[in-house]
Amino acid sequence: MAPPAARLRYNANKSDNGVVLTKKPPKKLHNNQRKEIKKSANGLKIGTPVIADAKTSMIPSVETAFKTLISARLCSAIWSYIADCDETFNYWEPLHYIINGHGLQTWEYSPEFALRSYTYLLVQGVPGWIYHKLFNPSPILIFYMIRCMLGFGCAVMERFMYKSICQEFGIHIGRLWLIFQLFSVGMFVSSTALLPSSFSMYFGCAALAAWWHLNYSLAIFFVAISTLLGWPFGGLIGLPIAVDILWRKQLWKTFLIWTVISAFTIGIPMVIIDSTYYRKLVIAPINLVIYNVFTSQGPNIFGTEPLKYYLINGFLNFNIVWRHRCREFT
């Protein structure tokens, strides 16, 4: 079921909790109010504990949450290792080719298969190429610069999502979400991974945040970026958004207009860039779906795992959150 009006819920949360997320200038106090505050302050002894109630509970502001998220993602950029061989050979290797003009060819970027988009690599490669041309640093510095850039981009999207959660579902739920995000192993690993699935995660979060803000045009655009430039299977996150726009809100015109805008601003440039690199007409997302779903190997080309693998993996990535989630189904 789609979320209700965000602004009404946000105003209700503010009135219930007495706490706002944005900073406002302090109100001017009258002389009588100043005397009362000073008198009450003098009445407290040093070391007297102050008991916090619901109205004085700590709620991180949006900017404070953003700073903590940036810190966590930059730690990931520096200390998280590359756990996926695909990240090394399918993305860092061709990215090295884009920045330095030489490198080894991976089979997914071979014209024979053309499963991956060069447009996605250029989003990371152009800043790395500019950094390389201006300062001529070592490849290691370029590596960490790109990872820090990915971590910063992830934090920007998480900031947007944190603000949306606080406004739509309440500031206390937003606070819990922030804590879980900061200590999630899965987010620590994926936030700075040079993978289309991570890129799709960034804009998938942004699409949900825009949806909760009732900004349907931006939600459609972010879903298009997530699907076309990132991971085509991530487009499933747009299904509930589409149902809400078309079925509940009946905004057919908005949906069609922004679908066309997304196709012209993202899809057509992507096809032109990829076709230039591959030297033939290529629509990489379609090639990837056909190869992984409709070929004889299908999605089982790299094997399958039993159910317990996914249960254990969920606990490793989301720790106690996954445990409490599983308890709801038992």
Q: Is the pLDDT of residue 17 over 70?
A: no
Tokens of 204: 């998938």
Amino acid identity for residue 188 in this structure: F
Amino acid identity for residue 273 in this structure: I
Among the residue ranges 11-15, 234-238, 317-321, the one predicted with the least confidence is 11-15
**pLDDT-based confidence at 117, cuts 50/70/90?**
very high
Tokens of 174: 């937003």
Q: What is the pLDDT of residues 227-251, one digit of tens each?
A: 999 999 999 999 999 999 999 999 9
* CA distance readout (Å), 197 to 121, 142, 184, 217: 13, 22, 17, 23
Residues shown for the chain: 330
Q: Is the pLDDT of residue 54 over 80?
A: no
Per-residue pLDDT, averaged over 267-272, amounts to 96
328, HSE (Cβ side, Cα atoms, 13 Å): 5
Q: What is the pLDDT of residues 159-218, one digit of tens each?
A: 999 999 999 999 999 999 999 999 998 999 999 999 999 999 999 999 999 999 999 999
Residues contacting 267, CB < 8 A, separation 6+ = 224, 228
> For residues 280, 284, 287 and 289, what is the CA-based torsion angle, rounded to 10 degrees?
-170
Among the residue ranges 81-85, 277-281, 286-290, the one predicted with the least confidence is 81-85
109, HSE (Cβ side, Cα atoms, 13 Å): 23
* CA distance readout (Å), 115 to 2, 89, 193, 235: 34, 14, 19, 17
Per-residue pLDDT, averaged over 42-59, amounts to 46
Q: Is the pLDDT of residue 257 over 70?
A: yes
Among the residue ranges 23-27, 51-55, 99-103, 283-287, the one predicted with the least confidence is 51-55
What is the share, in percent, of the chain residues with pLDDT greater than 90? 65
Tell me the C-alpha distance between 128 and 124, whole Å: 7
- Give me the pLDDT at residue 82, please: 93
Predicted model pTM:
0.80
- Give me the pLDDT at residue 51, please: 38
- Give me the pLDDT at residue 11, please: 57
**pLDDT-based confidence at 266, cuts 50/70/90?**
very high
Tell me the C-alpha distance between 262 and 228, whole Å: 10
89, HSE (Cβ side, Cα atoms, 13 Å): 8
Mean of the per-residue pLDDT values of the chain: 84
Q: Is the pLDDT of residue 62 over 50?
A: yes
Taking CA 178 as the corner, what is the angle to CA 177 and CA 182, rounded to the nearest 5 degrees?
115
- Give me the pLDDT at residue 276, please: 96
List the chain domain ranges.
Answer: 62-282, 296-330
Among the residue ranges 47-61, 62-76, 228-242, 266-280, the one predicted with the least confidence is 47-61
